[in-house]
Amino acid sequence: MTNMTYRDAVRLAMIEEMDRDQNVFIMGEDIGKYKGTFRVTDGLFERYCQEPRDWLVEPPHPEILDGVGRRVIDTPITEPGIVGMATGAAMTGLRPIVEMMTMSFSILALDQIINHAAKIHYMTGGQISVPLVIRGPGGAANQLSAQHSHSMEGWYAHVPGLKVVAPATPNCAKGMLKAAIRDDNPVIFTENPGLYSMKGDVSDDVDEIIPFGKARIAKEGKDISLIAYSRMVNVSLAAAELLAADGIDAEVVDVRSLLPLDTETIYNSVRKTHRAVVVYEDWKSGGFGAEIAARIAQDCFDDLDAPVGRVGGLNVPMPYARVLELQCIPNEQDVLAEVRKIG
């Protein structure tokens, strides 16, 4: 195990997979010499672009996507074009990774993602696969304002044909990104910008992947289940420490895979503690946490001793002012208040 940041774990996963498979390449805005907005692609341009080419004139082909070709492609500012090209490349057998400068900008590419990438395998009767990864920062960072702070994972988890993951730790980020790159289906891989500097132990095994559809118990407990994903796992863990001071032993479930969703681990936790609070950064109304809460209420009704609680972001556009931004993002005090409310 090596201790590293979440950002470095994501980068290492891409390097290991690009070294392993010559069909893997990455494309996006400012990911080359600029190293990406959050510096996730630092060093990749120098490593994989020894022979620069003009990709607007000479499009990529399998025979030149090799160790001396150009496999880190800076694109124009056109999200629909980026995802459209990546989808076409994936259909021919390549394995593109699209970095969105922010997942908020993926809204511009919804037609390509939802109407094409997600449906081509189904609409061709399984004849064509789309091994495509769309990854980037999703959620609030620090004063990036309303148009750059969306949590998009719930929107995509609504769409059959996509896989959607939101890892909370550096080790999960590496293992799940490797799984995403090897998957033959389109994967939405969301990275909360508040996690990029978080450090943790990461596996040194280049072949170790973390499969989708399997939640993780981040902390065991017996009195209440705090169910979260992405950065809200850290918030839930902080809340669990505060609850422990009041004699409440909280269990924290890291969902990490939204589509497919591991309901078995979630339900087993709720059946043990008999209480649940779902914590998510997205707008509370209609966010993916509401789906988790609804499933618990429906399928674990006889096991619950209290209504299912929910803690989500305020239903307002994200303010620019830092003091207001912090009011919109769930924190451990919000979780404590919800736990105490449901009793």
C-alpha to C-alpha distances, 279 to 46, 146, 298, 334, nearest whole angstrom: 40, 21, 18, 9
Asked if residues 75 and 30 have their Cβ atoms less than 8 Å apart, the reply is no
Residue 283's closest CA among 149, 101, 110?
A: 149
- The count of other CB atoms within 10 Å of the CB of residue 268 is 16
Distance CA(214)–CA(154), nearest Å, equals 18
C-alpha gyration radius of the chain: 20
User: What does the DSSP assignment read for 77-124?
Assistant: S-HHHHHHHHHHHHHTT-EEEEEPSSGGGGGGGHIIIIIIITTHHHHT
Q: At what angle do helices 170-182 and 6-20 cross, to 10 degrees?
A: 30
Any idea what the Cα angle at residue 317 is, between residues 315 and 320, rounded to 5°?
A: 130
Which residues are known catalytic residues?
79, 148
User: What tokens were used for 143?
Assistant: 């004063």
